[in-house]
Structure 1
Amino acid sequence: MKNHLHTLLCAAGLLSAGGATAQTTVPNAGFETWENRPLSNERPQGWLTADDIVYQVFQPIVGPLTPNATKLVTKSSDKYTGSFAAQLIPKNISVLGLGSQPAPAILLLGDRFRVTFADLSDPTALADIRRSRGIPYTARPAQLTFWYKFAGTSTDQAQVAMALSKGNLSNGGIIVGTASSTTTNVITPGTTTYKQFSVPITYTSTEAPDSLRLGFSVGGNQVFSSSAALTIDDVAFSFTTANASPAVAATLSVYPNPSENGLFSLASLQKASVATAPLSVTDALGKVVLQQAAAPASAANGRQLDLRGKPAGVYLLRLDTPEGIVVRKLQLQ
């Protein structure tokens, strides 16, 4: 009976969301916006959690549950950037008629999914995530990245899995690309300071996708310690691992540079996608001191970077543009 609740989780089918506008970024990727749901724990807007599933799907089956009793996914102020991050904590919870049951902590992109969760504990399969319609998504990124901390012991396991698809997969649709953590690319337990995780996306089709599925799980293998906790922040896609051409890089203007007050402006009138691309700024030791998602096209003529309060010195700006990586040195006086 120990795996009974996990079996129920794996068998759950939820209707997918529809009607959203197709996009190229991950909604609420920094987990800054949270909302309450009836009976369930507060959750990040645009994401589905294991708490939603327990309360909304299984309460009619297993009997009354105390609101907010599980808290498998919670809002954490231990963030990488911004104000909040998402923390996944698997737990043994008491279920009427079943006793204490192991419950994996699950976080899935989208408000409503028709999906089962077995592949989050077997990230090489992806069969179940393929049956989900996911959210509208039209780009072909090169890799998935996010920042994480993973408390726990060597026996604890965390997984990430994603799939890009085109069309209805139950009626002639195709998988365009997939990515997942593996036995060699591991979300490392015992990571007490934020670390970036990157996983390349493998494409099996040249088609442009129309849907994205993305999920995280801790404790999906039903083996977890009492200290297991995965904290996730700043989920993003990188669209290339190669440098942009000199001609593309030359379209970017950075001013003033050097800066006396720590304020810089970026502009690229010839290629708006350069100045508005997702960016990061690192110091001389390689520590990320600023990270921003893609900016609107209107920012191409004056996107501001704020390094006020940072020590004087040389910083490295990196923009992940659709045409490749653009790097510039920033001098703060």
Structure 2
Amino acid sequence: MAIFFVEKQDNYEPLFKNTQVIDIKIAIVFAKRLSESVEALPGKDYKNIPHAISCIYFEDTDFFIDTQHQTIDEEEEKLSPPEKDEDGWRSSSQRLIYLIVQIFYSLAVGRLPSSEIKFLPSKMLCNLSESNMILIKEFLTYGLALDKKKRYQTFKEFSEVIDIIIKRLATQNTTRIVTTKVKNRFSYASQLKLYNFKSSLTTMVNIYAPCRVLIGRILDIEDKKFIKKTDVATIYQNFFSEEQIPEYYIVIENDNCISRKHLQVYMDKELKKSFIQDLGSTHGTIIFADSSCEITSGMAIQGSKMSFIIPFDQYFQIGNTQINISTSKKLH
């Protein structure tokens, strides 16, 4: 295994392709091989490795770095660690280990990592046992820490961690997390819209009846599947009951008027049986009679349950957040 610096390569297979997902076991092996190849370089060559991913190619057992790849400047601006303005940062082993962990993430997810990874995509976790999920989360937490003192400091330390991960992924039985939907089970497709008055930001969430939606400032999201994060809310998904009915968890952290566990919405396969239930919140929940959302026409509930007033288009408000559920598509 070796690393070669080349110019304008078209005949080699790029290590990373956008939207292409590599099995996490293969991705960690690539990370190990690349780490060993980088470590074998003379220290003076460390600085010649750009902090970019798309410029790295692979053939047989060797890595090739296209030093004139068109994406280098753009990716370095996005991917470089916080200490990029410090003297000597480009020659440090910590910077290269940080890059290798970013490459591992990119291979397993099919996209370049964001500046700060708070949640792991479900496609990376779906085949992992709970203990292996924790192991991968710890690996990324340390490998991509913004504080370089908290990262892996040497290639020896980094290699020992990778060896543990490879062994665990290869030998431990996994409990698969359910990520597929049962065909012909849902009766309605709905859209849940969140609007925050203070920030004037909106988030849309697609939900499918029958389902349950839990909304609050702090919810138990352990072992839940991460769906997406926006400026308004973070959405997770779980399944409950033998029929694998979906359960959506909507965490709204930036609205202090919302309780930790504020509201539950249950969408029945027969929409007339759907209901909204305030979970004993501090400020209560307002259910509106129509889309005008006039406070005078609203009904406040606190710690109680109420059926949908308008099953196909329902508006209600919690804290500084207005919520609209619109249901118009019958699936079967």
Fold conserved (TM > 0.5)? no
Give the number of the structure whose residues are more often strand, by fraction.
Answer: 1
Give the number of the structure whose residues are more often helix, by fraction.
Answer: 2
> Larger radius of gyration, structure 1 or 2?
2
| TM-score, L = length of structure 1 | 0.29
Q: Which has the higher contact order (CA 8 A, sep 6+)?
A: 1
